[in-house]
Chains A and B, each alone.
Chain A
């Protein structure tokens, strides 16, 4: 159900995104300061809806990529390009190293996980024994 502020919220979210369409913390901050200065009687409601929308957008933009070992920049860029080519919305990539994967990768996009790692293969193997 669209609320009475929906067009305002859309504009505010747009103000919070950088030139790549990614939410930027400092821009969000600017919007928050602005809202506070105006201090409208509906401040609370607007704030709540704005933050909900920002959280949702952040969730859909974030791509968490974990590698089992240190990975070169070129591999990262390749991966970025490949994923961006299949998903049309702006994406914010976070690369980390997770030693517990041992080797391989794990990519989390909203609630989908794409994974091929030694750890996942081992756990699959151990499951095939127990079930």
Chain B
């Protein structure tokens, strides 16, 4: 008997001590998904805070004698006086290809009922953007498949291009079409067996949207077969502001994983206006001093630190890229609002969508005058640059002259020709949603326009003609397009083949 007690005594003596040190505090006030916590003197900014019942919070406000935490998840179980503990960890989300085809919330938990996500890696939500040294200038195209965009405001991999416009002007459609086009190109590239092919993986972050809209977007992506390349991060309007605030950073971490592992990714933030509003709500509850339009003073930093994380990395840093398409909603076309001007100054250009054009049926409603891409043309393929180089100017002139078109009979021949050409380009650029056009077909269509093949077609029939030509180029006339696809150039013999294909088509079109 005594030998057993001896044994136990010995075991107890040898027990390792495993003391842990935690920094604790208690909830003083609790309101609107934000807890003010007393104590926690050693907390770090953005650290994860643990509350009872597995509720997590993030320390956002570090004050002299209290800490403001935004709470994630079900806060109804918490009450004043509950204990809060530091965890020593920053909030992380799962990353990797396991997330493709999935819909997740702001902390990476599945929301699509397709079971657990077995991601083996995770990354902190808030990270420092790549510095200047590992970055490279943007020089590879990211085709949106939208003619008006690819020809006039081309986007390159690693670029940040803002999509801006009033409500319901087709902003989301531009972003979703771009994603659909990536999926199309990815499939084509993978089928070709080209070892150097670089697919683009996509992350779509829905912030403060109605659940019905998110569902519609998911459906569009599924129907077009793009979902297998996409991760959707959703923090809908019904979600608490903390999740809406976090979602873009979480999505960005998921996109960064591709970039850091030498791959290319595209991320859409739909939209950052609602993100700023969620942040304003949190800040007001935290009683931070507010400035212009009641936004807190650091609202610029809110978006700059997010968008700076998009980059194109050098070859010796893996050659990956993260392209960002943030979306901003304006009020009655006012781009001079606080949040729009901030984001315009951070991005490398913008696609401005005009309500007037949209209502006139000119869709996508890309404004020629106000849309720019500061780096993109370096990323256009040679063939396209050759045929689309002047189109932006031509269209801008047309918009200017269009005001005088009512005096058509009095106008000189060159002005009239310019008006005719412009009207035809406008028709050529009309494109329905979820219908991306490959760059080689775009190039060919543009070539046909620049070589006057549409001149004999009435303006009202140009769009129908373009669609018919597109079909021809994708079937019988495929040879020229294939050459453009493989070489990226419009060489002498390619141009000949293209000419004969377009001439053949023209004979059949009526």
Name the contact of A112 in the complex, choosing from B17, B18, B42, B54 (C-beta under 8 A): B42
Contacts of B39 in A (CB 8 A): 110-111
Contacts of A110 in B (CB 8 A): 39, 41
Name the contact of B23 in the complex, choosing from A112, A116, A121 (C-beta under 8 A): A112
* Bitwise interface map of A from 107 to 118 toward B, beta carbon under 8 Å scored 1, else 0: 010111111100
Q: B22 an interface residue at 8 Å Cβ cutoff?
A: yes
Contact B19 A116 (CB under 8 A): yes
> 9 nearest interchain CB pairs?
A111-B39, A116-B19, A113-B22, A113-B24, A114-B21, A111-B41, A111-B24, A116-B17, A111-B25
Contacts of A108 in B (CB 8 A): 24
* Bitwise interface map of B from 361 to 392 toward A, beta carbon under 8 Å scored 1, else 0: 00000000000000000000000000000000
* Bitwise interface map of B from 1 to 44 toward A, beta carbon under 8 Å scored 1, else 0: 00000000000000001111111110000000000000111100
Q: A130 an interface residue at 8 Å Cβ cutoff?
A: yes
Q: How far is the CA of A77 from the CA of B18 in the complex (A)?
A: 22
- Summarize A's interface: helix, strand, loop or mixed: strand
| 23 CB-based A-B contacts, threshold 8 Å | A110-B39, A110-B41, A111-B23, A111-B24, A111-B39, A111-B41, A111-B42, A112-B22, A112-B23, A112-B42, A113-B21, A113-B23, A114-B19, A114-B21, A115-B19, A115-B20, A115-B22, A116-B17, A116-B18, A116-B19, A116-B20, A120-B20, A130-B54
Q: How far is the CA of A95 from the CA of B194 in the complex (A)?
A: 72
Residue among B19, B23, B39 with the most chain A CB within 10 A? B19
Contacts of A121 in B (CB 8 A): 18
Total number of residue pairs linking A and B with CB closer than 8 Å: 34
Contacts of B85 in A (CB 8 A): 113
Contacts of A120 in B (CB 8 A): 20
Contacts of B21 in A (CB 8 A): 112-115
Residue among A108, A111, A115, A130 with the most chain B CB within 10 A? A111
Q: How far is the CA of A115 from the CA of B42 in the complex (A)?
A: 17
Residue of B nearest to A124 (CB): B20
Q: How distant is A31 from chain B, measured CB to nearest CB, in Å?
A: 24
Q: How distant is B272 from chain A, measured CB to nearest CB, in Å?
A: 31
Contact B20 A114 (CB under 8 A): yes
Contacts of B54 in A (CB 8 A): 130
Contacts beyond the supplied A108-B24, A112-B24: 4 A-B pairs with Cβ under 8 Å: A110-B39, A112-B22, A113-B23, A113-B85
Q: How far is the CA of A111 from the CA of B42 in the complex (A)?
A: 9
Considering only residues 65-97 of chain B, those with a C-beta below 8 Å from chain A are 85
Contacts of A115 in B (CB 8 A): 19-22
Contacts of A112 in B (CB 8 A): 21-24, 42
Contacts of B25 in A (CB 8 A): 111
Contacts of A111 in B (CB 8 A): 23-25, 39-42
Q: How distant is A25 from chain B, measured CB to nearest CB, in Å?
A: 23
Contacts of B24 in A (CB 8 A): 108, 111-113
Q: How far is the CA of A110 from the CA of B41 in the complex (A)?
A: 9
Q: How far is the CA of A130 from the CA of B21 in the complex (A)?
A: 22
Q: How far is the CA of A86 from the CA of B19 in the complex (A)?
A: 17
Q: How distant is B39 from chain A, measured CB to nearest CB, in Å?
A: 3
Residue among B20, B23, B25, B39 with the most chain A CB within 10 A? B20
Considering only residues 147-193 of chain B, those with a C-beta below 8 Å from chain A are none
Residue of A nearest to B19 (CB): A116
Q: How far is the CA of A89 from the CA of B475 in the complex (A)?
A: 86
Contacts of A114 in B (CB 8 A): 19-21
Q: How far is the CA of A25 from the CA of B21 in the complex (A)?
A: 31
Residue of B nearest to A108 (CB): B24
